[in-house]
Amino acid sequence: MGRRPKRSLRDPNTGDMKNCISANQNIIQLLVTAASAVVQPVIDMMSCGKTGMMIPILTASINTLMRMKGIPGLRVAVMEGREVSLHVLLIVLSFRFFYYYCFENNKTNGLVTMLTPSSPMLYRNLFIACVALFLASCDPQKPAPTPSKPESSRDTTSQKPSAPVDTFYQRVSQLIGGMDSTVAYADDRWDVDFIRQYCRDVSEKMVRMERDRLNKISIWNASNIQRNQVSDSSFCFYPFSGGDFIHANWLYPNASEYLLVAKEQVGTVPNIMDFSKHEVNQYLKDIDVVLRDIYNKSYFITKNMRNDIKHATVVNGMFPIILWASARTHHDILSVKFFTISSEGSAVYIDDPASVEKVDGVEILTRNQFSRRERKVTYLSVDISDKGFEKRPEVQTYLRSRVPAQSNTFVKSASYLMHYGSFGQIRQIVLDKSKVLVQDDTGIPWEQFDKSAWNLELYGVYEKPVSDFSENLYQADLAEAYKMSEYYKGPLDFSLGYHWGTGNQNQMFAIRK
Give the Cα separation of 184 and 79 in Å (integer). Answer: 11
Over 50: is that where the pLDDT of 391 sits?
Answer: yes
Instruction: Indicate the pairing of strand 236-239 with strand 407-411.
Output: parallel
Q: What is the pTM of this model?
A: 0.73
Instruction: Indicate the pairing of strand 236-239 with strand 82-83.
Output: unpaired
Task: Determine which of 53-62, 122-131, 394-403 has the lowest per-residue pLDDT on average.
Answer: 53-62
Cβ atoms 142, 13 nearer than 8 A: no
pLDDT digits (tens, 9 = 90+) for 103-162: 444 443 334 334 444 444 444 455 555 554 554 444 444 443 433 333 333 333 344 667
How much of the chain exceeds pLDDT 70, in percent?
67
Give the Cα separation of 461 and 173 in Å (integer). Answer: 37
Over 90: is that where the pLDDT of 229 sits?
Answer: yes
Give the Cα separation of 359 and 267 in Å (integer). Answer: 8
3-state secondary structure of 454: strand
Which one has a higher pLDDT value, 205 or 309? 205
- 296 band by pLDDT with thresholds 50, 70 and 90: confident
Cβ atoms 259, 238 nearer than 8 A: yes
Looking at residue 81, what is its pLDDT? 31
pLDDT digits (tens, 9 = 90+) for 1-17: 444 444 444 444 444 44
Looking at residue 185, what is its pLDDT? 52
Give the Cα separation of 352 and 359 in Å (integer). Answer: 10
Q: What is the mean pLDDT of residues 16-28?
A: 42
Q: How many CB atoms lie within 10 A of CB 41?
A: 24
* Single-letter residue type at 57: I
Looking at residue 163, what is its pLDDT? 85
- 369 band by pLDDT with thresholds 50, 70 and 90: very high
Angle formed at CA 61 by CA 56 and CA 62, multiple of 5 degrees = 100
Radius of gyration of the chain (CA): 25
Secondary structure element (H or E) that encloses residue 434, with its range? strand 434-439
Over 50: is that where the pLDDT of 365 sits?
Answer: yes
Q: In this structure, what DSSP letter does residue 74 have?
A: P
